[in-house]
Amino acid sequence: MEIFKIITLALSGLLLFLVGVMRLSQPIKTYLKNSGIKLDNDVDLLNEIRGVSSLMLLAGIVILLGAFIPEFSMTSHSFAILLFVGFAFGRMISIKVDGKPNKLIIQGLIFELVFGFANIFCLFYLIA
């Protein structure tokens, strides 16, 4: 089980870190490539996107720390759950209110649910 927890944290942290870096450094290009969303070069929109992207990047670092420092794993799993389940919850509300998004965003939702529930499973295992 310990290997599963380490792999879950490593993959969760790496995914958030890499997405955070890509969206922070090149939001217009990254959103088009990964989500199929064409962003305008709007200063306010880009500022909001970079803010959320830096949160993802820093959370990825915190989550990765838990893969290497066992005493930090509960905090790391908690961060991962908040981010992945939080994003998934928001997307599901949007699907209900706004309609079905494109295939790339649905794939993102699936990844968020998988990583969210994997981290929930690991956290419950830590507590038990």
- Rg of the Cα atoms in the chain: 15
56 CB neighbour count, 10 Å cutoff: 20
Contact, 111 vs 86, CB < 8 A?
no
Please give the share of the chain, as a percent, with pLDDT higher than 90: 86
Q: How far apart are CA 29 and CA 31, in angstroms?
A: 6
Judge whether residue 53 has pLDDT over 80.
yes
- Does the pTM exceed 0.75? yes
Q: Write down the residue that tokens 């794939």 correspond to.
A: 107
Domain limits for position 45: 2-127
* Higher pLDDT among residues 107 and 128, named by residue: 107
Domains in the chain, number:
1
Q: What is the pLDDT of residue 66?
A: 96
